[in-house]
Structure 1
Amino acid sequence: MRALAWRGGFGRLWSAAVLSSFGDSLRTAALPLLAVTLTDRPLLIAAVTACGYLPWVLFGLVGGAVADRVDQRRAMWLADVCRGLLVAAFAVAVALGHASIALLIALAFALTTLQTLFDNAATALLPAVVGRDALGGANTRLMTGQRIAGGLVGAPAVPVLLAAGAAVPFAADAATYLIAAVLIASLRVEPPERAAAPASSTLRREIAEGLRTLWADRPLRGLCAATALCNIGMGALLATLVLLVTGWLGAGPAGYAAAGAAFTVGGLAGGALNGRIVRRLGRVRAVLFAGAAQTVSLVLMGTVRSLAVLVAALAVFGFLGMVWNVNTTTLMQERTPPGLLGRVASAFRTLALAGAPLGALLGGAAATAWGLNTPPLLTAAFFVPAVAVLIPGRRPDVRAGAADEEAATAHSPR
């Protein structure tokens, strides 16, 4: 088993991902707080989250096909440059007092449109950077680093930055995108091997090939269906979490920051223990366990009116979310041929995220009609069939990469 090397390609890729995650956490934590100062209508606030998911439905498959055609490293840094410029322009608008719900919606849509290309290219490029025998450890380190930077460092800093000015978190986010673009542009890796495309090949045919490959793989097909159901519920939860904390619990921005920090700490623990869970259960069963336990956490969030209970439930939810994310991503990378990885990844993400905009609107409608505590219960209702979808695919499926994954999480990055 080849050791995961920090020097060179993976170290730069990890640094860029972690830095971008820090900036994203500033923006994603500041946007809802900015939105509630512009309107008190739950549906409009939920629309910001819904439009942040919509580009995956419209452009996700195209982004994956393009990622398999082009230089993935170049696609990533160009996307980051564009995102940095967009957020910088938004920061200027906020500083000048021109922020509006319409502008927030437009920004969310534009950033996610670029993300469809960036994320698919990154998923396809990682095996070329670290090799397939180190994917478990690489994904764990990437996601753990992003969780540290995004939740443990970034989100708690938002109230401090907002005190310096409403535009400051967005300006910082723009800077992280541009620095990450420089790091990615400096990567020197061999591009993934691809079979030459026939002269008659079209984007439509290449997209169809990715969809067929995903459908033919039973574990990936089940994981995709389960993730799709979960993401409908997650859309409802994320779109209204700020209302749950600041409205139903009356905890204010400090409570919202505490909730985000709890989710982050739980995710870090999930990254540290994921290797052991995989060794014991296998990847598919680990995801099944995570989904079942997350359902219980969601019920607690929506029924117990206590900030302490919410914080504890979000910590557990974050722990299990890390287990889910690491293992679904690693399974997809392990089981997909290199030349198809961008398309299979985009097909998985597009199908999985297709219902999230609807979920966000359902969450806003539920909060309006039945109370601000109902979206977590609505989310739990979608997690139940998601877990049921995974049951037929449960089986011991531990791969050799699990040993590498546990070794990777046992040491802090140097």
Structure 2
Amino acid sequence: MPSPGELIAPKRLGRDFRWLLASSWTSNLGDGIALSAAPLLLASLTSSPLLVAAGAMMQYLPWLLFGLFAGSVADHHDRRRLVMLANASRAVIVLGLVVFLATGHVTVWVVLASAFLYGTAEVFADTAGSTLMPMLVRPGDLGVGNARLQAGYLVGNQLAGPPLGAFLFAAASFWPFLLQILCVSLAVVLISRIARTPVPAKDEPTADAAKVHPIREGLQWLRAHPPVRTLIVIILVFNVTWAAPWSLLVLYATEHLDMGAVGFGALTTASALGGLVGTVCFGWLERRLSFATLMRVCLSLEVVMHLAFALTTIPAIAFVIMFGFGMYAFVWGTISTTVRQRLVPLHLQGRIASVNMVGIFGGLVIGQLLGGLIAQGWGLTAPWWFAFAGSAVTLLLVWRSISHIAAAPPALDVPGSADAPPA
């Protein structure tokens, strides 16, 4: 019988993967603590739905400003070192917020400014970090590797972190952020154990190609590759519809469902529990169902989830919905990441990942702004109705394209690509 360590991080994935996994899990615990503590801090400073939504929006706005540049930087520098520097910067920024909290000088605007600076550092950390997996494992193991990273995200960011953050916030507003600093700092130490990651080699450019700006080179590749381009568009639109109500979940839980601060944190815990079930089932699903089928099922469940939240007023039902959300969201995140990593050449991983992240967080920024405006005018359930209608229409439009995305051939310039199974 395999040991727990072998089940979590199989030896075939290598030592460096284990350091990456440990760093990712630790960082996600810190982010999970802030996931509940940050909106609770804003809600304690203002009752405006627009300002509460702006907290998350300011953290994601840097993706629109610096995302493509971060992708180019990741493709031309030591990616491991970039992650270390960016995460160290995140720890310093949170330390500054703690000083304001401890001295009693914190305001809504201090929190929003901290969120923007933190989000800027996160752009470089996440972009460079997303390129490490294809450099450390064979393409045929990307699904397993991404599933393990997703499991850490679920346990740390969704399961353990939020209730711990809510509990610590109830004790004193600065405690959850101190623990977040500790986790992010430890993540820097862990990822430093990975061997230096050289800049991926590529063919010598022609005289004309040498004149192409690195960011433009990535965009040109994306324009000529419809499967990846369509996948990014799907992610963009579904993040707009998802973020509209999700940015106000703290108000929806505490005011509409009357669950309190701890209940709000417990909602994300229910999502994480569902995700863990998805973790256990993923290998079985991957062996028995096509990626196209799984992608369609996940997006269909997203539509149903929005409708269910719009209709319910019962906390117990909200927990069931969140549990189901965790199950399918985990499967979708693992599949979409694996498909993209298999289809993109190694030397473009950073730039295409950054475009994907710009789509994710651009959608979040737009959705959060819309959600705040819609809730301000029509109440806390109105964003859920918007999300239901928008996601349903989008799914109908892209239904047939999903087959082309899942069946596209993998890139040939990554180690072991000839052994990679088809998506």
TM-score (norm 1): 0.91
**Segment drifting more, 263-272 vs 215-224:** 215-224
Q: 2:159 aligns with which of 152, 156, 169?
A: 152
Q: Deviations over 1:219-269 (max 9, x none)?
A: 222211111111112221221000110011111112202211111111111
Taking structure 1 as reference, are residues 306 and 216 closer, same or farther at Cα in structure 2, changes over 3 Å only?
A: same
**Segment drifting more, 388-397 vs 176-185:** 388-397
- 1:77 counterpart residue number: 84
Q: Deviations over 1:2-58 (max 9, x none)?
A: 965466211111111011100001112101111111011111111111112211111
Equivalences for residues 113-192 of structure 1 within 5 A: 113-191=120-198
- 1:246 counterpart residue number: 254
Q: Deviations over 1:79-124 (max 9, x none)?
A: 1111111111111211111221111111111112112211121121
- 1:195 counterpart residue number: 202
- 1:380 counterpart residue number: 388
- 1:369 counterpart residue number: 377
Partners of 1:398 and 1:319 lie apart in 2 by: 26
Q: 1:45 aligns with which of 46, 52, 67?
A: 52
Taking structure 1 as reference, are residues 40 and 71 closer, same or farther at Cα in structure 2, changes over 3 Å only?
A: same
Indicate whether 1:214 and 2:222 are aligned.
Answer: yes
Partners of 1:328 and 1:13 lie apart in 2 by: 20
Partners of 2:167 and 2:247 lie apart in 1 by: 23
Instruction: Give the aligned residue type for 2:139.
Output: R
Taking structure 1 as reference, are residues 196 and 69 closer, same or farther at Cα in structure 2, changes over 3 Å only?
A: farther
Partners of 1:265 and 1:69 lie apart in 2 by: 39
Indicate whether 1:205 and 2:213 are aligned.
Answer: yes
**Segment drifting more, 78-87 vs 95-104:** 95-104
Instruction: Give the aligned residue type for 1:59.
Output: F
- 1:411 counterpart residue number: none
- 1:106 counterpart residue number: 113
- 1:14 counterpart residue number: 21
Taking structure 1 as reference, are residues 128 and 365 closer, same or farther at Cα in structure 2, changes over 3 Å only?
A: same
TM-score (norm 2): 0.89
- 1:87 counterpart residue number: 94
Q: 1:266 aligns with which of 263, 266, 274?
A: 274
Partners of 1:138 and 1:321 lie apart in 2 by: 17
**Segment drifting more, 55-64 vs 191-200:** 191-200
Taking structure 1 as reference, are residues 320 and 278 closer, same or farther at Cα in structure 2, changes over 3 Å only?
A: same
Shift of 1:200: 8.5
**Segment drifting more, 136-145 vs 195-204:** 195-204
**Segment drifting more, 278-287 vs 245-254:** 278-287
Shift of 1:398: 10
Partners of 2:210 and 2:121 lie apart in 1 by: 21
**Segment drifting more, 270-279 vs 32-41:** 270-279
Taking structure 1 as reference, are residues 106 and 127 closer, same or farther at Cα in structure 2, changes over 3 Å only?
A: same
Taking structure 1 as reference, are residues 162 and 196 closer, same or farther at Cα in structure 2, changes over 3 Å only?
A: same
Indicate whether 1:292 and 2:300 are aligned.
Answer: yes
8 Å CA contact 2:75, 2:200 repeated in 1: no
8 Å CA contact 1:46, 1:364 repeated in 2: yes
- Number of residues of Structure 1 aligned to a counterpart in Structure 2: 402
**Segment drifting more, 33-42 vs 364-373:** 364-373
Partners of 2:208 and 2:91 lie apart in 1 by: 37
Instruction: Give the aligned residue type for 1:24.
Output: D
Instruction: Give the aligned residue type for 1:287.
Output: M
Unaligned runs of 5+ in 1: 406-414
Unaligned runs of 5+ in 2: 1-8, 411-415
8 Å CA contact 1:84, 1:177 repeated in 2: yes
Instruction: Give the aligned residue type for 2:140.
Output: D
Percent of counterpart pairs with the same letter? 31
Instruction: Give the aligned residue type for 1:341.
Output: Q
2:399 aligned counterpart, secondary structure: helix
- 1:359 counterpart residue number: 367
- 1:410 counterpart residue number: none
Taking structure 1 as reference, are residues 203 and 330 closer, same or farther at Cα in structure 2, changes over 3 Å only?
A: farther
Partners of 1:203 and 1:116 lie apart in 2 by: 26
Partners of 1:120 and 1:204 lie apart in 2 by: 21
Q: Deviations over 1:160-217 (max 9, x none)?
A: 3124311010011111111111111121155353226759978972112212222322
2:309 aligned counterpart, secondary structure: helix
